[in-house]
Amino acid sequence: MPCGSDEPVTGNYFVSTYPPFSTWSSNKVNAVPEVLNQAPAPQHTPPLGLYIHIPFCVERCQYCYYLSYAGKSTKHMADYADALVSELNLYRNTSALANRHFSFVYFGGGTPSLLPDATLNRLLNNLQSVVPWNNTDEVTFECAPKTVTPPKMHILKDNGVTRISLGVQAVDDEVLRKNGRVHMTRDVEQAYEAITKTGFPITNIDLIVGLIGENEASFLRSLARIIDLKPDSITIYQLEIPLNTPLYRSLQSAQIHEPVASWDEKRHRLGIAFEQLVAAGYHVQNGYSAVRDPQRHSFIYQTAQYHGADLLGIGKASFSYISGVHFQNVATEESYFGQLQKGAFPIKRAYTLNHDERLIREFVLQLKLGRVSDEYFMKKFHVNIRDRFARPLGELERAGWIEHDAAHIILTREGLLRVDHLLENFYLPSHQHIRYS
Ligand SMILES: C[S@@+](CC[C@H](N)C(=O)[O-])C[C@H]1O[C@@H](n2cnc3c(N)ncnc32)[C@H](O)[C@@H]1O
Ligand code: SF4
């Protein structure tokens, strides 16, 4: 259970699903047409979400591991947007998805707000002509400050976007520059003004704690400036340095001489941030975010997935989870466009979860929310989670990271600050200590 100063600062820790992606494989892709050919039984149909991956950025940030490309032409972006619509059409014609509406929609990247206005308008219209989202509970759209303009925000609002997520990361020009961000502090102010003037139901701002060049004081100054803006939601990720990032390579070749924050330092800074957010009237919702009003500012995309919702991911390298089968799209240009031109699903690898793996998946994902209900797992899986996970629960309770009341397993604040580092304790032995991606 590595959870102290001996943890390597590099590598992936953030858990977005279970089992780890490295266990999904190309020889399990046959499971996908099988599930797509079956309409789910009406009484067992979970909510369905749509994720749309937009893999374009102005420039690549030093620390970022998401699939995205800088410098693509507007023609390429328009062709990609049309390919997304063809992909959605393919899925719409399957028995599993034909008659279902989307409960939530998420445009992620990359930087979706980099799409030119005309392409964006066309994409939003064309997607909705395949599956209208007028009854959808939440439509999130990720933006980066330099690409936010008043006309673009109006296009989003007119097309039903309900939640803007603005990637700020830091409000400190020196730190922004050192981490390869293309925006400066003044761009954040302008972008935020355009967003608030347009008026969306929910605005979230992303920050990162532990960026190169940051120290505790500069991080807390950034946080204070964000709190002054009063966004509905503030998300703070602890910096990861995955092995496929420019930042990792620069550290390896000793091109960066600044100290890299340890996990203990990042947790300490995030712990203070949570206290300051609570003092400012926010409510901590999970290991990363706090919202002003938990009734109005919930994040459906996250909570629905953590409770077993289906998700259709379209676009290069995107992830789906339908009827207990995980699958991921191909990432290369040639294969993504090539497969779609043939009318084939552009899928690269898959994994079918058994009953126990579905239980583990939902249990670890719900632990990220800091609180897991016994009754939920008894009703859905007919399993007593205190018995099923007796050993790891006992160990983590003795370490002071977990506690419980009569009906819930609860993470302590110290547990919540390191939640992604604890989850592996609940995995099947064959899924422990393996590469995540
Ligand atoms: C896919 S990015 C999209 C946001 C937008 N492109 C931007 O950067 O402004 C979503 C979020 O992931 C977080 N993120 C990206 N790389 C990270 C890393 N290495 N460690 C922690 N968080 C990271 C950032 O907070 C970012 O806002
Ligand atoms: S953090 Fe955002 S802008 Fe930077 S490379 Fe990643 S997706 Fe692109």
CATH code given to domain 21-304: 3.80.30.20
pLDDT at 242: 93
Query: If you average pLDDT over residues 118-139, what whole number do you get?
Result: 96
Which residue has its alpha carbon closest to ligand 2 atom 6?
64
Contacts of 262 by beta carbon, 8 Å cutoff, 6+ apart: 5, 7, 9
Neighbours of 380 (CB within 10 A): 13
Residue 297's nearest CA partner among 98, 140, 93, 142 is: 140
What would the two tokens of residue 200 be?
Answer: 């969306």
Which residue has its alpha carbon closest to ligand 1 atom 16?
64
Q: Would the CB of 167 count as within 6 Å of ligand 2?
A: yes
Q: Would the CB of 109 count as within 6 Å of ligand 1?
A: yes
Give pLDDT tens digits for 382-428. Answer: 999 999 999 999 999 999 999 999 999 999 999 999 999 999 999 99
Nearest ligand, CA 55: 2
Given ligand 2 and candidates 59, 64, 142, which is best to mutate, with the most ligand atoms within 8 Å of its CB?
64
Residues 43-69: b if buried by 16+ CB within 10 A, e if exposed: eeebbbbbbbbbbbbeebbbbbbbbbe
- Going from N- to C-terminal start, the domains of the chain cover 21-304, 355-437
What would the two tokens of residue 327 be?
Answer: 């699958």
Fold of the domain spanning 355-437:
Arc Repressor Mutant, subunit A (1.10.10)
Query: Do the beta carbons of residue 305 and residue 365 sit within 8 Å?
Result: yes
* Beta-strand pair 56-57/69-70: parallel
Q: How far is the CA of 75 from the centre of ligand 2 (A)?
A: 21
Side chain identity, residue 234:
I
Q: How far is the CA of 64 from the centre of ligand 1 (A)?
A: 6
What is the rounded distance in angstroms from the CA atom of residue 113 to the CA atom of residue 146?
9
Give pLDDT tens digits for 217-245. Answer: 999 999 999 999 999 999 999 999 999 89
What is the rounded distance in angstroms from the CA atom of residue 290 to the CA atom of residue 282?
6
Q: Is the peptide bond before 324 cis (omega within 30 degrees of 0)?
A: no
Which residue has its alpha carbon closest to ligand 2 atom 3?
57
Atom of ligand 1 nearest to the CA of 68: 1
What is the rounded distance in angstroms from the CA atom of residue 52 to the CA atom of residue 153?
18
Q: Would the CB of 110 count as within 6 Å of ligand 2?
A: yes
Give pLDDT tens digits for 296-316. Answer: 999 999 999 999 999 999 999
Which residue has its alpha carbon closest to ligand 2 atom 4?
61
Q: How far is the CA of 110 from the centre of ligand 2 (A)?
A: 5
Q: Would the CB of 10 count as within 6 Å of ligand 1?
A: no
Say yes or no to pLDDT of 379 above 80.
Answer: yes
Residue 133's nearest CA partner among 161, 155, 157 is: 161
pLDDT at 2: 52
Q: Would the CB of 365 count as within 6 Å of ligand 2?
A: no
DSSP lists the bridge partners of residue 372 as 409
What is the rounded distance in angstroms from the CA atom of residue 122 to the CA atom of residue 38?
31
What is the rounded distance in angstroms from the CA atom of residue 270 to the CA atom of residue 238?
8
Q: Would the CB of 245 count as within 6 Å of ligand 2?
A: no
Q: Is the peptide bond before 19 cis (omega within 30 degrees of 0)?
A: yes
Q: How far is the CA of 395 from the centre of ligand 2 (A)?
A: 37
Atom of ligand 2 nearest to the CA of 180: 4
Q: What is the mean pLDDT of the chain?
A: 96
Give pLDDT tens digits for 158-217. Answer: 999 999 999 999 999 999 999 999 999 999 999 999 999 999 999 999 999 999 999 999
pLDDT at 437: 67
Express as a percent the part of the chain with pLDDT over 90. Answer: 92
What would the two tokens of residue 369 be?
Answer: 């929310």
User: What is this structure's pTM?
Assistant: 0.97
Nearest ligand, CA 143: 1
CB-count exposure of residue 37 (10 Å: 0-12, 13-18, 19+): exposed
Residue appearing with tokens 């007796």? 390
Nearest ligand, CA 167: 1
What is the rounded distance in angstroms from the CA atom of residue 416 to the CA atom of residue 400?
11
What is the rounded distance in angstroms from the CA atom of residue 329 to the CA atom of residue 344?
11
Express as a percent the part of the chain with pLDDT over 70. Answer: 98
